[in-house]
Structure 1
């Protein structure tokens, strides 16, 4: 489904799970021209974006599963839809807007289009203008969120000053 909607990825990062290190997935990756990279074992930070998504996803899906936890897959499409159409605080936009260059249309909340076409090629021009504006806005939001995170982190952090000749603890890594 992902390839049909978004095209073939250049690279895919996976963990060391056997379901990712099998001949079938390697053959498919080779067939579609996708480089497969494996994250470092026991180091989930290597694939932090996926780990962050998983923590969000598990929290959401747990709200809907039955007590036997055997019906979680029935809720996947709805949860992914909600995630992709929700505005994220880090970007100020939804993943849908960033991927497709326009606001999503919801069946129960239709809104008028912001595009007006006088020539056939105007759609592409307006789509690219919207996409560029959205990407700039997302970049500004991300930078702002990073600054807020840094401020929160630095608030409880000491800022030692060192002078020439001060004794310091040094850790030396040997080969």
Structure 2
């Protein structure tokens, strides 16, 4: 599941604000944050925040982007998609960022067989253009959460199996 936001200044303060307001206060405190060694990540302010919330901050190896491969893969996808929409001056990319993130998070990924949204939240997303769903009733409220947890567990296991299968196919192709 990808979270991305445009940062007008790319400073330590702006990065800390985004981490706090748009990640921690929305999704809760992460166990681990992996970043590159940019000065907007590698600073006392972010170190204080991660220490305060009990989060481990891991830095990728300099000049070795493969250390944070998932982010680099996202960046590659993002740049490709963004190039289709940006104007010639490339100064309006932030306008398209939310739509590209939405499309990425709600597209089935070949390797896992699921959308990142399904794997993160344990259910299919309700899109703005979907027809209204009928109301359903559960005898006990905890049944809904049990159902979500069960679905997410099954989806994560299936995604892991699908990824392993895709890795084996790739290995056979390249060996």
List structure 1 segments (4+ residues) > 6 angstroms apart after TM superposition.
none
2:69 aligned partner: 48
Tell me the CA shift for residue 116 of structure 1. Answer: 5.8
> Which residue of the partner structure matches residue 166 of structure 1?
none
Q: 1: distance between equivalents of 2:111 and 2:82?
A: 22
Unpaired runs of 5+ residues, structure 1, are: 155-175
Q: Which of 94, 111, 118 lines up with 1:90 in the alignment?
A: 111
Out of 127, 130, 136, the position equivalent to 1:106 is 127
Residue 138 of structure 1 aligns to a residue in which SS? helix
How high is the TM-score relative to the length of structure 1?
Answer: 0.80
Match of 1:168 in 2: none
1:21 aligns with 2:49: no
Measured after TM superposition, the shift of residue 92 of structure 1 is: 0.4
Comparing 14-23 and 77-86, the one that deviates more: 14-23
Check conservation: 1:86, 1:94, Cα contact below 8 A.
yes
* TM-score, length-scaled by structure 2: 0.80
Give the aligned CA root-mean-square deviation in angstroms: 1.9
In the TM superposition, residue 126 of structure 1 has moved relative to its aligned partner by: 1.1
Question: Quick one: higher RCO (CA 8 Å, sep 6+), 1 or 2?
Answer: 2
More helix by share: 2
Q: Please list every run of 5 or more consecutive structure 2 residues that lacks an aligned counterpart in the other structure.
A: 1-21
The higher radius of gyration belongs to: 1
Q: Deviations over 1:82-125 (max 9, x none)?
A: 11011101110000000100001111123647976232221012
Give the Cα separation in 2 of the matches to 1:42 and 1:114: 52
